[in-house]
Every structure is written in C-alpha cells, then in structure tokens.
Amino acid sequence: MNAAHENAITILTNYVFPNDLHVHWSMMIALYPYITGIVAGAFIVSSLYHVFGVKSLKPISRFSLLFALAFLTCATLPLLFHLGRPERNFNIMLTPNPSSAMAGFGYIYMLYGVVLLLEVLFIYRPTLVYLRKKSQGLMEMIYRALTFDSTNLSPESLELDRKIISFLAAIGIPMACVLHGYVGFIFGGIKANPTWATPLMPVIFLLSACVSGVAGIILVYILIKTFTNKPADTDCVRTCTNYLAGFFILDFVFEMLEVLSHSYLRTAHYHAVDELLNGPLYNSFWIGQVGILSVIPLILLGWLCLTRVNDTLFKIGASLVSFMLLLQVVFMRWNVVIGGQLISKSARGFTVFHPEWFDKEGILTAIVLMCAPLVVLFVISRIFPFWMEEMDEG
C-alpha cells in the first residue's frame, strides 16, 4: 500500500463528527425503558388472571399488580436524573404537544398510573376494609383513605367492584402496551439513526417488556417465598415460566429478525450497523445478549417447559432463567440505546461511551435507581398484603 492510500484510509476510517463524540442519551435513558418494561410486563401477568382467567396465576395476581405499581412509582426517576432542568418536567403537562410522541409521555404515564392505582384499590377493597377494622391510629387512617371511607362489602357492592375491575384490567392492557410500545416508537421514529429507525422497534420493546416483567415476577416471587420459608406455588411458577418462554421466543425472534432484515436488505448505512455489531458491540451484543443470555436461557426454558422436571429443580431453573433474562433485557436496552448512539452521523466511525461511577447519570445512580422500586415494594407490602393465603389465615 503506498503512502497516499494509507493516508486516505486513515481519513476515511473512524471519522466521527465533532458533535457526535458525546453520547447524550446516557445509562438513565437505557434504564427508563427497562423500568417501564417491567411495569408493563408485570401488569400483563396480572391481566392474564383478571381478564383471561388463567386460574393458576391467582397466587401472584395481586403481587404482580403491586410489583407493577412499585416500579411505576420509580419509572420517571431516571428521566429526572437525565434532565438538565428537572424542575421543568411538568411543562410537558402544561403545554401538551399532540404532534410529539415524546411529549405525550406525561399524559400516558398519568392515565396509566391512575388506572393501575384504581385497579389495585378495587381488587384490595375487601382486604383493606378488613384491615381497617383491625388496625388503629395512623394505619387506620391510611386504610380509611384507601377504602374511600366505605366499609360496604354487600354482594351487590362486590359485584359492582368485579365489573369495574374487569373494565380497568381490560383497558389496562392496551394502556400498558401504549406506555411501553411508545418508548419503542420514539426510538423507532428517529430516522437519522440506522439501528433505531425500524417499525419493529415498538414490537421488540413491547415483547422484551413482557419478558422482563414476567421474569422479574418469577424471580422476586421465588426469592420472597424462599426467604420467608413459605412454599412457592409450583403450578403458578410453571405457568409463568411457560408464558415467559412464549414471550421470550417471540422477543428473540423479532430481535434477530431486525438484524437479519438489515443484513439481507443491505439497508441504508448497513455497513455502519454491521461494523457496529461486529466491532464495538461484539461482546455486549453477540456474546452477551445473543449468546450467553438468549441461547442458553432458550435451552433451559426448553428443558423446563418440555420435560418432566421435579419441583425443587424447576424452581432453581426458573429463578436462574429469570435472572438471565432480566440481564438479557438490560443488555438489549444497553445495546439499543447506548449502542445506537455510538455510530457517528458520518456513518464512517464510532464514538466511545465511558460510564462513570459517581456521575449524576453514572453507575452508582443506576444501581440506586434499580434498588428503589424494591424498597417501594417493601413499603407497599406493609400496607397491601401480597398473598391471599395470609388473608385466609387472618
């Protein structure tokens, strides 16, 4: 190679525009769809029982709603950490913009929050009325507020509640899908980014949401039961794992389909996507997300769902698969959100993302934010009992 060509190649490779050096959508923006995904997925688990009548999911039907509620309370935190001026967040409510998907967030989030909270209150009403009678002082005040100061549990009243619960659960499903699908829609709508701009993006986000939600429920359910020395309902765990397998097969197929369609169609800037996936993202995409965290769980799920595995082994296997799939979704969010921004608009080079430990949007913040919903879940568990059997004993 002569000197002139060498010079040309140096100039043509890794050419990053000066305004593309910095990855603006940091880990917080990867964390936000992760948390809302868990909300949507957990809600769908509870809807499987409340709307579609999957009886074996009854033991976790209430828990999954509270799980969704706990994560929903923390869903906006990553966004607030990301904003330069977080105190201006209410402006999206004050000046709604119907032509912006991102600006719709405030209203979508609020409506979904109201529906979820109402569903919890209606489902728990008989329990809350019972607890109100048993408690005193502050707790009595809380239960009085949560039951709207009504102790009427007549069959007529419960029948009305049942109808309202069905209605709320039914409208909750499309709303959960909108809440999470639109996150994918925002990414899919960014035309300038070759890895994001695909109509498959909302579908992939939605399916991965279901995966992370169901996996989160299985893992936390088994962990709580193990640490409280209570038996976990095997039938329920098995049904959940079957749904997890179903959602994950669809999710993984669509994730691969996206890469395949880019590759087969040789879409615009395919060379950049190709270099990205086989270059800076090789370890986190092919080895992490696809190899270790998708192929191995698929094999494990096949073993759990298609063969006769004894109960103890099943619970260990289900916990392991759930943990791996929760990580798979973290990797997927990272590869989409951070990975997508590594390509310079020149389509000829990649920037580098350096996460910091003690940054406003750093690793420590991410860890604290992921622990926050579990703390909220613990606080909620002091007010709303998770399990039906505890009530029966009471």
Partner 1 sequence: MKSSYNSHVKRIILGLVIFAVVGFIGKEISSPKSFGVYGHYRADAIQEEADRDMRHKTNTPCLPCHTHEAGLHKNGLHKTISCEFCHGPMADHITSGIKTGELPVKKGEEIRVLCLRCHNRAIHARPGDVIKTVVMPDHLRDKKVKETHTCNQCHHVHAPYNYIDQAKQALSIKEAS
Using CB under 8 A, pick the residue from 18, 53, 84, 137 that binds partner 1.
Answer: 18
For residue 171, the minimal CB distance to partner 1 (Å) is: 14
Count of positions (residues) in the chain = 394
Identity of the residue, 21 or 363, whose beta carbon is nearer to partner 1 in the bound complex: 21
Instruction: By CB under 8 A, name the one of 3, 5, 87, 95 that touches partner 1.
Output: 95
The SS3 assignment for 6 reads helix
Task: Give min distance, CB of 156 to partner 1, in A.
Answer: 4
> In terms of CB distance, is 17 or 264 closer to partner 1?
17
Interatomic CA distance for residues 175 and 160, integer angstroms? 22
> What CA–CA distance (Å, rounded) separates 149 from 141?
9
Q: CB-wise, 113 or 202, nearer to partner 1?
A: 113
CB of 258: closest distance to partner 1 in angstroms? 32
DSSP type of residue 345: T
Name the segment binding partner 1 (CB under 8 A); options: 10-18, 40-48, 273-281, 301-309: 10-18
Here the contacts of 352-356 (C-beta below 8 Å, separation 24 or greater) are 352/280, 353/23, 355/26, 355/27
**Minimum distance from residue 96 beta carbon to partner 1 (Å):** 9
Give the separation between CA 108 and CA 176, rounded to whole angstroms. 9
Q: Which residue has the tokens 């613990």?
A: 378
Stretch 114-143 residues interacting with partner 1 (CB under 8 A): 114, 118, 121, 125
Distance CA 96, CA 88 (A): 13
Pairwise CA distance, residues 288 & 344, whole Å = 23
* Residue 15 touching partner 1 (CB under 8 A): yes
By the rule CB under 8 A, 375 interacts with partner 1: no
Least Å distance, CB 69 to partner 1, is 17
CB-based contacts of 198, cutoff 8 Å, min separation 6: 188, 258, 261, 262
In the complex, minimum distance from the CB of residue 89 to partner 1, in angstroms, rounded to a whole number: 13
Minimum distance of partner 1 from residue 116's CB (angstroms): 14
| Per-residue mark of binding to partner 1, 146-185 (x: CB under 8 A) | -xxxxxx-x-xx--x---x---------------------
User: What track of x and - describes contact with partner 1 for positions 305 through 334 (by CB under 8 A)?
Assistant: ------------------------------
Contact 324, 362 (CB under 8 A): no
Q: Which among 87-95, 131-139, 180-188, 309-317 is the span making contact with partner 1, rule CB under 8 A?
A: 87-95
Residues in Cβ contact with 273 at an 8 Å cutoff, skipping those fewer than 6 apart: 194, 195, 262, 267, 343
Residue 317, by phi and psi: left (phi above 0), alpha (psi -120 to 50) or beta?
Answer: alpha
If one asks whether residue 4 binds partner 1 (CB under 8 A), the answer comes out as: no
Q: Which residues bind partner 1 (CB under 8 A)?
A: 11, 15, 17-18, 90, 93-95, 97, 99, 114, 118, 121, 125, 147-152, 154, 156-157, 160, 164
